[in-house]
Amino acid sequence: AQTVTQSQPEMSVQEAETVTLSCTYDTSESDYYLFWYKQPPSRQMILVIRQEAYKQQNATENRFSVNFQKAAKSFSLKISDSQLGDAAMYFCAYRSPQYGNKLVFGAGTILRVKS
């Protein structure tokens, strides 16, 4: 079974600075999908960024980018120019093509942004 590990329970970043959230996963599959979801306090979960394993190019969405290292099974999220609105719980998630409807979530990282 696949597992997802987020080793940083909490992170802090100064406004306008850059922060990287780590995520590693364990799988024997060669094709899969990876996601970062953001859940602000008392607000709904939204997708931040996604990556397909067969694509070597790292995904980028505005200030959010990933460092996808397939061999190392690592999928870190970099947030540039951090803003107060980035404060949230961030979940890394894995989805297998074989079990397409199941997301395997990591434990989450709470990101605090200091002004």
Partner 1 sequence: DTEVTQTPKHLVMGMTNKKSLKCEQHMGHRAMYWYKQKAKKPPELMFVYSYEKLSINESVPSRFSPECPNSSLLNLHLHALQPEDSALYLCASSQEPAGSYNEQFFGPGTRLTVL
- Pick from 44, 56, 57, 62: which binds partner 1 (CB under 8 A)? 44
Residue from 21, 25, 35, 68 touching partner 1 (CB under 8 A): that is 35
Rounded to the nearest 5 percent, the helix, strand and coil shares of the chain are: 5, 50, 45
- Residue 85 Rama label (left phi>0; alpha psi -120 to 50; beta): alpha
The C-alpha atoms of residue 27 and residue 43 are separated, in whole angstroms, by 31
> Applying CB under 8 A, which part among 12-20, 44-52, 60-68, 70-78 lies near partner 1?
44-52
**What residues line the site for partner 1 (CB under 8 A)?**
33, 35, 37, 43-47, 50, 52, 89, 91, 95, 97, 100-103, 105-108, 110
